[in-house]
Amino acid sequence: MTEHVRVGIVMGSDSDWPVMKEAADALAEFGVAYEADVVSAHRMPEEMLAYGKEAAGRGLSVIIAGAGGAAHLPGMLASVTPLPVIGVPVPLKYLDGMDSLLSIVQMPAGVPVAAVAIGNARNAALLAVRILATGDADLQRKMVDFQAELKTAAQAKGEVVRGG
Ligand code: RP5
């Protein structure tokens, strides 16, 4: 049986994959089926627009889009899809990813893109899981368990600091 793909992970270049793989790994942890592809806004604009236009019809619920530098991919996808788009600013050699971050968050009114911290593709996946979990009780339970684990781990570290 093929699992229904609910999240599309796209990136501007295969050079973004080491960062974006963190999103794929997190979705796998939660058992969320995803697809991953290179869909460059600048080098393959027609294919990028087709991806955005067809995503909802193909059954995707969330798009995670990572790009570096002039990071127009998340915003351009958001302009042609009704789906929530989460942007991941990928840090490049120069400017430490600030260029990517500002390119992603400075969207005009009416065309929202959610953005995570520079390089934090894992958080993009966790946000995607939360979005999906609003209509999926099993997934929401997994997120609640995950949050409980975070708390336990933080408390254990606190014990080390306190010498407990
Ligand atoms: C962006 O240009 C990509 O998202 C990537 O972060 C950056 C560099 O791409 P490559 O030259 O490594 O293919 O569009």
Q: What is the pLDDT of residues 93-123, one digit of tens each?
A: 999 999 999 999 999 999 999 999 999 999 9
- Report the separation in Å between the CA atom of 29 and the middle of ligand 1, taken as the mean of its atom positions: 27
Q: What is the mean pLDDT of each run of 10 residues along the chain (164 residues)?
A: 86 98 98 98 98 98 98 98 98 96 98 98 98 98 98 89 74
Fold of 7-133: Rossmann fold (3.40.50)
Q: Return the half-sphere exposure (C-beta side, CA atoms, 13 A cut-off) of residue 135.
A: 6
d(CA 76, CA 60): 17
For residue 164, what pLDDT is reported? Answer: 62
Q: Which atom of ligand 1 is nearest to the CA of 92?
A: 6
Domain boundaries, the chain: 7-133, 137-164
Q: How far is the CA of 147 from the centre of ligand 1 (A)?
A: 34
Tokens read off for 107: 């969207």
Binding residues for substrate: 13, 16, 43
ipTM of this complex prediction, to 2 decimal places: 0.97
Cβ-contact 10, 34 below 8 angstroms:
no
Q: Using a 6 Å CB cutoff, which residues line ligand 1?
A: 11-13, 15-16, 40, 42, 67-69, 90, 92
